[in-house]
Amino acid sequence: MPPSETVKAEARRFSFYYGNTQALKEVTMPVYDKRVTALIGPSGCGKSTFLRSFNRMHDLYPNNRYEGEIRLYPENINLVAPDVDPIEIRMRVAMVFQKPNPFPKSIFDNVAYGLVIRGITNRSELADRVEMALKGAALWDEVKDRLDALGTSLSGGQQQRLCIARALATEPEILLLDEPTSALDPIATASIEDLVSELSDRVTILVVTHNMQQAARISDYTAFMFLGELIEFGPTDELFVRPKEKQTEDYITGRFG
Amino acid sequence: MATQPFDVAELRTNIAKRRRWDVIFGLVELVATMVGVVVLLTLFIDLIIDGWQHVTNKAFFLNFPSRRPAEAGILSAWVGTALVMVVTFLAAAPLGVAAAIYLEEYAPKNWLTELIEVNVTNLAAVPSIVYGLLALGLFVYILGFGHSILTAGLTLALMILPVIIVATREALRAIPLDIREAAYALGATRWQVVSDHLVPYASGGILTGVIIGMARAIGETAPLITIGALTFIAFLPPIPFTGEPPAGPFDWLFSPFTVLPIQMFNWLSRPQPAFHELAAGVGIVIIVATLLMNGIAIWLRYRIRRNLTW
């Protein structure tokens, strides 16, 4: 472990199965606290599957199976263990999806939802925390005069920042981003990338991207995955400049993928 | 290889030949459409010619049925229909929606739920008189509800349950997976996802299903005759929720009743033409009620869907 890093979560020989199909093979890697870790690799390499394991999204569908461990610190629990409540995990590990998916409700209600479901009903507290989250997602100035407007009425990039605000409102420990800019235009993409860099002071971020330049721009650490296996993990500057593995080098130099 | 000289004349003959079928089939389709429209229109105009004098007469709605056609009205019938519909709505809407939510969101996908699904879909095709038979055994004899508004309402509720279940499931299925995942990812429980998101977003489709089911129920005659609805009633049930508790507020449920289609059937079966005109008047009332309900359903669906984009 590099000096001055704290481990927030750590996969240990973590495997995942869709029915009988093994999608992840004994992945072992750390996720450092308040750092941005990028997961890269060609389509179908399991990077999204891996990401979605961190907040137990796979529990929503039948016949999915986790094996091995993903430890969550500081308590050192195995977050994929059957006796760990997925709802607790999802409240601590928030997620933003590939396609912006705001609820067809007002901007305010979108951001407040994570707070409302845990029973916060005090209007002024909700208002404060919604404002904070929207500021955190760099959306406040654009929407502060129309919090009652439908979240779905915003532009694509704004919708994605709304989804980030919604995820941030509950002050999660880890923020998962699943190709958050793949449905956005270059300008919206740039604003999300800036946002990710700002947020990394406050929250641990794990981001899936198939855009290597993006990984290089926004992440502190990068994991390269291929066919369900972790090929290489390291500080982003090292992995891109001096990859240790041949496969990593082939991928980042564009020879396949 | 030499290119064939292009023969424009031949091309035009070819097009003209193909065009002929266009015209022929256009006509056939127009006639097919017209058969439906014309029949419906004739029916409706005929009803209006016969029944218009009654539906424009206030006394028709305020009088009880009578031996003398001039004094006969549909007071007991429309009140009966209204009360039966209230019971039908209160029983069918929550049951149907809950069943649909269970099947769509909670039930594991296995052979048992597959079987239930096939059954529910098929129930919609069961002839209504069979529901009457079931209700006669269950509500009248076993549960002892008598030939009452309660029995009628529950019978019709059973009949329209499949309609509501199918409509609700379709409305739930139309909600993208993304939205469910968004809510679950924030730590919502299944019930929170259902009550905060799925039901509100599906409410347009659910309401449409409920109203279309009710519109079907309002014209039903056969199952109500089976359970023993009276054809001649010259009194009103007690006014709901006015009697002395404990039983008083609900005594209307156990009152004998008649409904509009049964009143119509009764008058139609009499020989005097004057009664047939009364029947036409009832027919207009039923058709207008049905069209009104379908109209409300369309309007609601439009209103609610307008705000839903994913």
What number is the ipTM of this complex? 0.92
Q: Is the pLDDT of residue B237 over 80?
A: no
The answer, for B303 touching chain A at a CB cutoff of 8 Å, is no
Q: Is the pLDDT of residue A1 over 90?
A: no
Angle (CA) B149-B151-B157 rounded to 5° is 100
The answer, for B134 touching chain A at a CB cutoff of 8 Å, is no
Nearest CA distance, B178 vs chain A (angstrom): 6
**pLDDT grade for B30, boundaries at 50, 70 and 90:** very high
Determine whether the interchain pair A97/B179 forms a contact, defined as Cβ–Cβ distance below 8 Å: no
The answer, for B309 touching chain A at a CB cutoff of 8 Å, is yes
A156, closest residue in chain B (CA to CA): B310
At position B297, the amino acid (one-letter code) is A
Q: What is the pLDDT of residue A253?
A: 84
B176, closest residue in chain A (CA to CA): A101
Cα–Cα distance list, B188 to A132, B100, B169 (Å): 21, 20, 21
Q: What is the pLDDT of residue A23?
A: 94
Q: What is the pLDDT of residue B169?
A: 93
C-alpha to C-alpha distance for A175 and A168, rounded to whole angstroms:
8
DSSP helix, strand, coil percent of chain A (3-state; round to 5): 35, 25, 35
B177, closest residue in chain A (CA to CA): A101
pLDDT tens for residues B106-153? Answer: 888 888 888 988 888 888 888 888 888 988 888 888 888 888 889 889
Provide mean pLDDT across the span A136-143. Answer: 90
Q: Is the pLDDT of residue A77 over 80?
A: yes
Nearest CA distance, B193 vs chain A (angstrom): 10
Contact A51, A28 (CB under 8 A): no
A177, closest residue in chain B (CA to CA): B185
Q: Is A154 helix (H, G, I), strand (E, B) or coil?
A: coil
Q: What is the pLDDT of residue A117?
A: 93
Out of B182, B189, B192, closest to residue A103 by CB: B182
Determine whether the interchain pair A103/B181 forms a contact, defined as Cβ–Cβ distance below 8 Å: no
Minimal CA–CA distance to B78: which of B294, B239, B274, B257? B257
Determine whether the interchain pair A103/B197 forms a contact, defined as Cβ–Cβ distance below 8 Å: yes
The answer, for B216 touching chain A at a CB cutoff of 8 Å, is no
CATH number for the segment(s) B57-306:
1.10.3720.10
Q: Which tokens sit at B42?
A: 């004739």
> Which chain A residues touch B184 with a CB distance below 8 Å?
57, 60, 90
Provide mean pLDDT across the span A73-85. Answer: 92
pLDDT tens for residues B18-29? Answer: 999 999 999 999
Q: Looking at residue B174, what DSSP letter applies?
A: T
C-alpha to C-alpha distance for A125 and A121, rounded to whole angstroms:
8
Nearest CA distance, A113 vs chain B (angstrom): 8
**pLDDT grade for B234, boundaries at 50, 70 and 90:** confident
Q: Which tokens sit at B56?
A: 């424009």
Determine whether the interchain pair B186/A103 forms a contact, defined as Cβ–Cβ distance below 8 Å: no
Percent of chain A exceeding pLDDT 70 equals: 98
Q: What is the pLDDT of residue B310?
A: 65
CB atoms within 10 A of CB B203: 17
Q: Which helix (H) or strand (E) holds B34?
A: helix B8-55
Q: What is the pLDDT of residue B31?
A: 94
Average pLDDT over chain A, rounded to whole? 91
The answer, for A117 touching chain B at a CB cutoff of 8 Å, is yes
Q: Which tokens sit at B212?
A: 């279309």
Cβ neighbors of B86 (< 8 A, separation 6 or more) are B153, B240
Out of B176, B188, B309, closest to residue A117 by CB: B188
> Which chain B residues touch A55 with a CB distance below 8 Å?
185
Out of B182, B189, B196, closest to residue A97 by CB: B182
Q: What is the pLDDT of residue B161?
A: 92
Provide mean pLDDT across the span A104-117. Answer: 94
The dihedral sign for the CA sequence A109, A112, A118, A121: negative
Contact A218, A193 (CB under 8 A): yes
The answer, for A114 touching chain B at a CB cutoff of 8 Å, is yes
Determine whether the interchain pair A101/B181 forms a contact, defined as Cβ–Cβ distance below 8 Å: yes
Q: State the helix-helix crossing angle for B149-173 and B199-218, rounded to 10 degrees.
A: 140
Q: What is the pLDDT of residue B3?
A: 63
pLDDT tens for residues B146-202? Answer: 888 898 899 999 999 999 999 999 999 999 999 999 999 999 999 999 999 999 999
Q: Looking at residue A147, what DSSP letter applies?
A: T
C-alpha to C-alpha distance for B154 and B98, rounded to whole angstroms:
17
Q: State the helix-helix crossing angle for B273-306 and B8-55, rounded to 10 degrees.
A: 120
pLDDT tens for residues A153-200? Answer: 999 889 999 999 999 999 999 999 999 998 888 888 998 899 898 898
pLDDT tens for residues B258-300? Answer: 888 888 988 888 888 888 888 899 999 999 999 998 898 888 8
A53, closest residue in chain B (CA to CA): B185
Percent of chain B exceeding pLDDT 90 equals: 34
Domain ranges of chain B: 57-306
The answer, for B29 touching chain A at a CB cutoff of 8 Å, is no
> Which chain B residues touch A98 with a CB distance below 8 Å?
none
Provide mean pLDDT across the span B220-249. Answer: 74
Contact A233, A29 (CB under 8 A): yes
Determine whether the interchain pair B184/A103 forms a contact, defined as Cβ–Cβ distance below 8 Å: no
Tell me the pairing of strands A174-178 and A21-32: unpaired
> Which chain B residues touch A101 with a CB distance below 8 Å?
176, 178-179, 181-182, 310
Determine whether the interchain pair A101/B179 forms a contact, defined as Cβ–Cβ distance below 8 Å: yes
Determine whether the interchain pair B201/A150 forms a contact, defined as Cβ–Cβ distance below 8 Å: no
**pLDDT grade for A58, boundaries at 50, 70 and 90:** very high
The answer, for B185 touching chain A at a CB cutoff of 8 Å, is yes
Contact A177, A205 (CB under 8 A): yes
Ordered domains of chain A (ranges, CATH): 7-252 (3.40.50.300)
> Which chain B residues touch A167 with a CB distance below 8 Å?
185-186
Cβ neighbors of A96 (< 8 A, separation 6 or more) are A160, A163, A164, A167, A175, A176, A177, A178, A180
**pLDDT grade for A86, boundaries at 50, 70 and 90:** very high
C-alpha to C-alpha distance for A27 and A50, rounded to whole angstroms:
9
pLDDT tens for residues A187-235? Answer: 889 988 998 988 988 899 999 998 888 999 999 999 999 999 999 999 9
CB atoms within 10 A of CB A194: 13
Out of B108, B185, B196, closest to residue A95 by CB: B185
